[in-house]
Amino acid sequence: MTVVAVFGGRSEIGLEIARRLAQGATVVLASRPGGERPDVSGAQRVMHVDFDADEVAAHVNAVDAIEAEVGAIDIAVLTFGVLGDQALAERDPGEVVRILHTDFVAQASLLTVLADRMRARGAGTLVAFSSVAGQRVRRANYVYGSAKAGLDGFASGLADALHGSGVDLIIARPGFVIGRMTAGMSPAPFSSTPDQVADAVVKRIRGGGAVELWIPWQLRAMFAVAAVVPRALWRRMPR
């Protein structure tokens, strides 16, 4: 039986991915203690696990506990993260550290734990969520963008290290996603919904393809051009 683990198990994107992969599978939803415990229809079993991504020292034990209960994780999707408060971060280094820790350090730690297990087994799929915000960091959200840039670089190197191991690492690079995290913000061009992101990720998991998954695909061309936009213009770009 396939074991699908979503770390960030209450996120809109994570839940939509889980629902699409649930038929006949064991679904593990790992999320911070408290809050709702959503169901996933079609799953053979749904397991809820208390998991705080920021507690990086506990990542090994968390994965151990999951696999001891349900068996080896076949597909792991990392959808936890924070957008953070850019204005506060420009005054408060604590906010900078909070954003970078959750969106880069914790991600890199958990990816390392999961990749090591999967490499030893010679199989598995990892999904890391980067963002177009990390492709060329903008003044309007440079703290969040720099965390995603770091994660993107880390995941790219890890994907190369896993090449030939039987482990498939997918780097999802969505643009602006209309959902809870971006509530109250004006959508950017080529915005997507959690449903659309989940559709693209699941299609890539099932069908294979390139390491980098741009969502929607048009953003790949847009950000190829972004690399050559003069800094005097780029610094005025909105979020």
Q: Which of 129, 144, 154, 176 is catalytic?
A: 144
In a domain, 239, yes or no: no
For 87-186, strand residue ranges (E) read: 124-129, 167-174
Domain-located, residue 164: yes
We report the CATH number of the domain holding residue 21 as 3.40.50.720
How many CA atoms lie within 13 Å of 222's alpha carbon, on the beta-carbon side? 17
> For 12-68, how does the pLDDT look when each residue is reduced to its tens digit (9 = 90+)?
999 999 999 999 999 999 999 988 888 899 999 999 999 999 999 999 999 999 999
Q: C-alpha distances in angstroms, 191 versus 48, 164, 172, 195, 217? A: 31, 34, 14, 12, 11
Name the residue among 31, 10, 135, 27 with its Cα closest to residue 76: 27
Strands 212-215 and 167-174: parallel
pLDDT band at 184 (very low <50, low <70, confident <90, very high): low
pTM for this prediction? 0.93
Q: Could you identify the residue written with the tokens 């060329």?
A: 136
Q: How many domains does the chain have?
A: 1
Is 142 known to be catalytic?
no
**Least confident residue range of 4-8, 39-43, 108-112, 116-120:** 39-43
User: Domain limits at 213?
Assistant: 3-234
Q: And the tokens for 91?
A: 């005054």
Judged against a pLDDT cut of 70, whether residue 186 lies above it is answered with: no
